[in-house]
Amino acid sequence: MISFAQTVELLHATKSTDEQFSARCPAHNDANPSLSIGQGEDGKVLLHCHAGCPFEKVKDAIHRRVLEQGLRLSEYSAMKGLPVDYLQTEWRLQDITWQGRPAVALPYIEGASGGTIRRKIRLSKDSHDMFWEDGAGARIHIQRFESHPLRHI
Ligand SMILES: [Zn+2]
């Protein structure tokens, strides 16, 4: 789920009223900011393109942009509110490159003996854009946002 703050940052939105932001719509070739971004109940993100793009189209465009963006440890640190040093030393998180995109690797030690280490690879700020890596570095499992309602990007 992408938060209101992440949406505002991703789209370089500017504040238009006390409760709303506006940005250039990612779903059409937008010269002027046509997209209104608001915050609904429960932190849901409200979107409306004044040029007429359907909600689903705007949502998909934002998801695509999130996926293309990648993730750096410094961004993950800001999202979690934890220092980079702590994440590196205590959690052993690492900046990596996955298929040309910046990503963060999260190692997990499995079993009581602690012999096996598997890594979870997180590709973007979307918490569903994450998968387990096997020993050969192959992608063995992926979870993706699929059926979130629009308000839930
Ligand atoms: Zn639009």
pLDDT digits (tens, 9 = 90+) for 89-133: 988 999 998 877 889 999 887 665 656 678 888 988 877 778 888
Ligand 1 centroid to Cα of residue 150, in Å, is 15
Q: What angle do CA 13, 17, 19 make, to 5 degrees?
A: 85
What percentage of the chain exceeds 70 in pLDDT? 81
The pTM for the full model equals 0.59
Look at residue 94 in the predicted model and tell me its pLDDT: 94
Handedness of CA 39, 43, 44, 45 (dihedral sign): positive
Residue 138 reports pLDDT greater than 80: no
Ligand 1 centroid to Cα of residue 100, in Å, is 29
Cα–Cα distance for residue pair 78/109, rounded to 1 Å: 24
Ligand 1 centroid to Cα of residue 84, in Å, is 37
Look at residue 38 in the predicted model and tell me its pLDDT: 94
Ion ligand 1, residue ranges at CB < 5 A: 25, 27-28, 49, 51, 53
Whose CA is closest to 49, among 40, 61, 41? 61
Give 148's pLDDT tier (boundaries 50, 70, 90): very low
Phi, psi of 144 (to 5 degrees): -130, 150
Residue 147 reports pLDDT greater than 80: no
Return mean pLDDT, the chain. Answer: 82
H helix or E strand, kind and range, residue 86? helix 84-89
Comparison of pLDDT for 148 and 71, the residue scoring more: 71
DSSP assignment of 38-84, as one string?
A: EE-GGGPEEEEETT---HHHHHHHHHHHHHHH---HHHHHHHHT--H
Domains in the chain: boundaries: 4-69, 73-143
Comparison of pLDDT for 152 and 39, the residue scoring more: 39
Comparison of pLDDT for 48 and 152, the residue scoring more: 48
Ligand 1 centroid to Cα of residue 27, in Å, is 5
pLDDT tens figures, 38-73: 998 887 899 999 999 999 999 999 988 877 788 999
Cα–Cα distance for residue pair 129/43, rounded to 1 Å: 20
Provide the residue count of the chain. Answer: 153
Ligand 1 centroid to Cα of residue 57, in Å, is 8
Q: Averaged over 23-36, what is the pLDDT?
A: 95
